[in-house]
Structure 1
Amino acid sequence: MDLLRIIDDAIYSTPVMNFYGSSLGGHLRHCIDHYDGFVRGVKEGTIDYDSRSRDRVIETSVNQAMQRLESLAKELEREISSIDAGREIRVKMDCGGETGMHWQVSSVGRELQFLTSHTIHHFAMMKGMCCTLGVALPMDFGVAPSTLRYLRNA
């Protein structure tokens, strides 16, 4: 949310050529879509990460992205507070190739780990994009917790 407070819609939606023409908004919307998929499916025990809304408004409007993040945080808190992290679930994600490796068995906790790692990965790309766009971010933005811990102890 801190990033969204320091940029406007123009910066948020600007394609950055050395990042394949993607925008900050595109990366954030992609992450939001994954969390939406988790929230939609976790109660039923099936999460389909391929079924994403790809909402262009979230991708181009800082205000809409902030509103969605706020509501998503509340939804996540409500959903995961009552679910056992070890509970088995089925997850769908097309990983390419001929078979795509569609439905796989996982757990709620493992999917939360995936979402964290996936988000950090996109935040790292967003940090590089921000450098290109002249937006300063904290040094730890987009850095994995294990890396931060390693760097503190090195």
Structure 2
Amino acid sequence: MSSSLIIKSNIKTLEKAHLILNKLSNDLLSDSSIAPYYSSIGSHMRHILDFYSCIFNITNENKIDLTARPRNKAIENSCEEAKIYLNNIIETLKNFNCNSNKNIIVLDDLGLGTIEILTTIESILAQANSHTIHHFAIINYILNNLNITIEDPNFGFNYTTPKK
């Protein structure tokens, strides 16, 4: 039961990306003029979706390699390409077989080289959801500095953040 709720939560969070992609031009999507990191909304969007792509590329040995991201630059520069990638990720999530009884191994580089981490598919999907919200917060910071507002006052806020 919790597997389906985790997938629904991920979909609900990812669907918020439509608010941005439907509002921005390609120039604004790829604008990297905002300090201190000079990253673009498109680079964060691509990064978010690449995380999910890695999850979907789980091997027959139940391994997920988070270091093997596609990093398609077209996603960073084209709202249309980003929408296609986003919709593909959401559709794949809707049909994703989330067998929570199996352990998986996640490969990632936490700063000291690639390591293997024993976990579950539910845990990596929960991490993906939090990771998405974290990057949405950065995107919200960029939007604010570009004087762009979106219709969702909770965009980029974790669901557990207290409401004022």
TM-score for the superposition, normalised by structure 2:
0.83
Matches within 5 A, 1:123-134: 123-134=136-147
Q: Residue 8 and residue 113 in structure 1: after superposition, are their counterparts in 2 closer, same or farther (change >3 A)?
A: same
Pairing 1:113–2:120 present: no
Q: Corresponding residue for 1:104?
A: 117
Gaps of 5+ in 1: none
> Deviation digits for residues 40-94 of structure 1, max 9, x if unmatched?
1166511001011111101110000001111111112212xx3223421000110
Question: Which secondary structure does the structure 2 equivalent of 1:140 belong to?
Answer: coil
Calculate the aligned-residue CA RMSD, in Å.
Answer: 1.5
2:89 to 69, 72, 75: 72
**Residue 22 (structure 1) aligns with:** 39
Identity %: 27
Q: Structure with the greater relative contact order (CA < 8 A, sep ≥ 6): 1 or 2? A: 2
User: Where in structure 2 are the equivalents of 1:3-152 lying within 5 Å?
Assistant: 3-41=20-58, 44-79=61-96, 82-97=97-112, 100=113, 102-137=115-150, 138-147=152-161, 150-151=162-163
Deviations 1:3-57 (A, max 9, x none): 1101110000000331411000000001111000001116651100101111110
Report Cα offsets for 1:129-148 as digits up to 9, x if no partner.
Answer: 0001111022200001111x
**Contiguous gaps of at least 5 residues in structure 2:** 1-17
